[in-house]
Amino acid sequence: MSRIARQTFLVLEKAWQLAGRRLVDFKVEFGFNAEGELLLADVIDNDSWRVIEEGAYIDKQLYRDGTALDVVTRRYRQVAELTEHFVLPRQLIILWRGSEKDDLTPFHEAIAPYGYNDVEASPHPEVWVYEATCSAHKQPVRAYQMLHQLVQQVPDAVIIACAGRSNGLGPTLAANATVPVITVPASVKDFPDDVWSSLRAPSETPVMTVLEPRNAVLAALQILAMRNPKLYAMLRVQQEKRLTNTAELE
C-alpha cells in the first residue's frame, strides 16, 4: 500500500506541477478485486487532496474554512477542468549509431526497466525508443533528413548518439537539432583520445558527452521526466531507495 500510494502521489505531484500548482498531500483508499489483488480504489477529485495555487488552497479546505459556496463551486469546477488535461506525453528516445558495428545493447538494457517499447509496439509505453543507423561523416545529407523527419514526428525527444572512431556523430546532430543530444563515444575505452571529438565541439554545437551508456540513458530519462508525470514518479522512487539511510537499533 505504501509503495502504490507513494507512486500515485508522485505522478499527481508532477501533473499538478506542470499545471502550475502544487500538490501538498492526498488521501486514498485501497481494496481487493475478485482475484484478490490489492488495488488503489478511490476517486481522485477535489475531496482527495490539498492543492495550492499562488499560496492559497483551491481544494476542499475552502469548504471547511466556511468560504462562500459560489467560490467553493468555482474552485471545484476549476480543479475538474484542470485534471481533465492530465495526460502522458508522447516521447521518444532516439538511439543513433554510426554503423551496425556500434552495439546498442547496453542502452536497451538500461531503458528496459522504465517501460521500453519499440515505436511500433504498445501505444502507451512510458518511453518510445527508435533505432537510427546512419553515419554523419559518410552520409550527411541522409542523416540530416532522418534527423528532421524523426523530430517532426515526435518533437518531445532526446537523442543518444553512439559511434566509434572520431565520434563526430553526436556533435553533428546537436548542431542541427532542436532537441537535446547526448553523445557516448563508443571507442573511448580502447582509444581515449576519441573523447576530444565530443568535448572540444565548435560554437553552436550544444552536445552533452557521457561515457557510461547507463548514465546517458538516465540523463535522457531525466530530461523527458520534466514533462512526464509517470516517468518522473518512476525515477523518483528509484532515487528515494538510494537516498534513504537507515540504521538498525540494538
Compute the half-sphere exposure of residue 79: CA atoms within 13 Å on the CB side of its CA. Answer: 24
Distance of CA 161 to the CA centre of its chain: 18
CA distance 62 to 76: 10
pLDDT band at 189; cut points 50, 70, 90? confident
Q: Which CATH class is domain 92-233?
A: alpha beta
Mean per-residue pLDDT, 82-106? 91
The domain ranges of the chain are 2-83, 92-233
CATH topology for 2-83? Answer: D-amino Acid Aminotransferase; Chain A, domain 1 (3.30.470)
CA distance 106 to 87: 30
Asked if residues 231 and 127 have their Cβ atoms less than 8 Å apart, the reply is yes
Asked if residues 160 and 186 have their Cβ atoms less than 8 Å apart, the reply is no
Residue 182 has pLDDT above 60, yes or no: yes
pLDDT band at 65; cut points 50, 70, 90? confident
pLDDT band at 54; cut points 50, 70, 90? very high
What is this structure's pTM?
0.86
- Of 166, 218, 208, the C-alpha closest to 187 is 166
Amino acid at 182: I
Q: Write out pLDDT tens, residues 114-128.
A: 876 555 555 556 678
Provide the pLDDT for residue 201.
86
Q: Write b or e for each residue in 201-224: b if 16 or more Cβ atoms lie within 10 A of its Cβ, otherwise e.
A: beeebebbbbeebeebbbbbbebb
> What are the E-state strand segments in 87-210?
92-97, 116-118, 127-133, 157-163, 181-185, 208-209
